[in-house]
Amino acid sequence: MKQVFKNCYAFDDVKISKEVIYVEDGIIVDDFDESEADEIIDCKNLALLPSFVDMHVHFRDPGFTYKEDLETGSHSALAGGYTSVLLMGNTKPTVSSPEIYNDIIKRGKDLDLIDIEQVYTITKNFDGKTLDHLESMPESVKYISDDGHGVNDDMVMYKAMQKAKNLNVTMTLHEEVAEVSDFDYEIAEDAMTIRDCYYAYKLNCPVHFSHVSTKGAITAIKYFKDLGAPITCEVTPHHLLLVDKGREEVKVNPPIRSKEDRKTLIEMIKNGTVDAISTDHAPHSKEDKANGSPGFIGIETAFSTCYEVLVRSGEISLNDLVRIMSTNPARLLGLNKGKIEVDFEADFTLIDLDESYIYKEEDIKSKSKNSLLIGQELYGKVKKVYKKGVLKYADN
């Protein structure tokens, strides 16, 4: 299958070009005679970006599929321009056994919508202490996480990092000292981040820090990165968009921070400390949300949010945004995508950068509708999404 993508403005992490892109069997190739093409796709002067990769997503499957499932979550991801996600393990049962892990991976492949990667839990069933289940962990696991919980016991985390290093997997960490968070969530995040930066540095264990939200935490990460620690980190669109919202006003974990925290996160994006933007897409039913469940959906609006806050505002270039939404997270997950270069997979998202739209509840593809942005005017409309050259989403 030979395809030609024409009349597009192509952006990746380093270049902008008005070019023709050639694809054969889902892979970007050098040019060929267009008369050989099976399909010629007129991109109509849209921006063509490498499709986005989200390193922090909740699809609630198994166990909470009334909120989201693999299929609805995948359609939601495609609507946001994503073709790859890393799912967290706080399902029911938790992803602490090969059976649950393998079932999720198989069902994701059978759907053939997006690439689904799945974390394994650090401690068995999030009990905060048991690590024996890691010995039977499938070889295809790339990341382990107790997302939603910090590993509070210092010795358990020390041993977990040793195991992770020996098993050649990366930890992706939710940083929160449980005993402190009810009193001071800023210190709760900062303190555990500092501990785990130091452990990663001394043990030379790869660690990825999830949804970093405070000035103290991101400053510690930069410090240990500069020392050579094998650590990376992500921030979320909502922590870049919102400031000074209380826990009751916007229930999310970690909570919305101060203007100073937000300013520092943006500076750390600009200086390269932040490796990825991840959504922490967290679907809930209206009843669960009303009862205090933290988080909200965001994968469908992530690009528009970041495009407004970071690019249209003049903070960074669109190339820089591609770097932290596509190129870097693809590299961190070991995926052959995220760049518009020969031999990379043809995962493309076509966007009208100038089109504004009102985000309406009836347009949401997620099973859950708990978005903060319903009724808001957004810029940068995702028009089409291709995965290995196959059209997976088209805006109606």
Domain range enclosing 359:
2-48+345-363+377-394
Same domain, residue pair 186 and 196: yes
Same domain, residue pair 130 and 170: yes
Q: Tell me how far apart the alpha carbons of residues 207 and 219 are, in angstroms, rounded to a whole number.
A: 16
Number of domains comprising the chain: 2
Same domain, residue pair 71 and 162: yes
Tokens of 371: 């978005």
Instruction: Check residue 246 and give its pLDDT.
Output: 77
Same domain, residue pair 36 and 76: no
Same domain, residue pair 256 and 162: yes
Q: Is the peptide bond before 254 cis (omega within 30 degrees of 0)?
A: yes
Exposed/middle/buried for residue 124 (C-beta within 10 Å: 0-12, 13-18, 19+):
middle
Query: Measuring CA to CA, which residue among 110, 148, 157, 99 is closest to residue 126?
Result: 148
Same domain, residue pair 107 and 130: yes
Residue 319 forms part of a structural domain: yes
Same domain, residue pair 185 and 282: yes
Residue-by-residue pLDDT tens, the chain, 396 positions? 999 999 999 999 999 998 899 999 999 999 999 999 999 999 999 999 999 999 999 999 999 999 999 999 999 999 999 999 999 999 999 999 999 999 999 999 999 999 999 999 999 999 999 999 999 999 999 999 999 999 999 999 999 999 999 999 999 999 999 999 989 999 999 999 999 999 999 999 999 999 999 999 999 999 999 999 999 999 999 999 999 987 778 999 999 999 999 999 999 999 999 999 999 999 999 999 999 999 999 999 999 999 999 999 999 999 999 999 999 999 999 999 999 999 999 999 999 999 999 999 999 999 999 999 999 999 999 999 999 999 999 997
For residue 112, the tally of other CB atoms under 10 A from its CB is: 11
The CATH number of the domain holding residue 185 is 3.20.20.140
Residue 369 forms part of a structural domain: no
Same domain, residue pair 76 and 38: no
pLDDT tens profile 276-308: 999 999 999 999 999 999 999 999 999 999 999
Identify the active-site residue in 280, 288, 320, 395.
280
Exposure string of 355-385, with b = 16+ CB inside 10 Å and e = fewer, is eebebeeeebbbbbbbbbbeeeebbbbbbbb
Q: Give residue 95's identity as a one-letter amino acid code.
A: V
Same domain, residue pair 30 and 81: no
Residue 368 forms part of a structural domain: no
Instruction: Check residue 247 and give its pLDDT.
Output: 72
The CATH number of the domain holding residue 355 is 2.30.40.10
Residue 229 forms part of a structural domain: yes
Asked if 154 is an active-site residue, the reply is: no
Residue 370 forms part of a structural domain: no
Residue 293 forms part of a structural domain: yes
Helix (H, G, I), strand (E, B) or coil at 232: strand
List the end-to-end C-alpha distance of the chain, in Å, as a whole number.
Answer: 26
pLDDT tens profile 172-231: 999 999 999 989 999 999 999 999 999 999 999 999 999 999 999 999 999 999 999 999
Same domain, residue pair 136 and 211: yes
Instruction: Check residue 257 and give its pLDDT.
Output: 96
Residue 145 forms part of a structural domain: yes
Same domain, residue pair 81 and 29: no
β-strand 348-358 against 377-387: which pairing, if any? antiparallel
Same domain, residue pair 200 and 54: yes
Residue 371 forms part of a structural domain: no
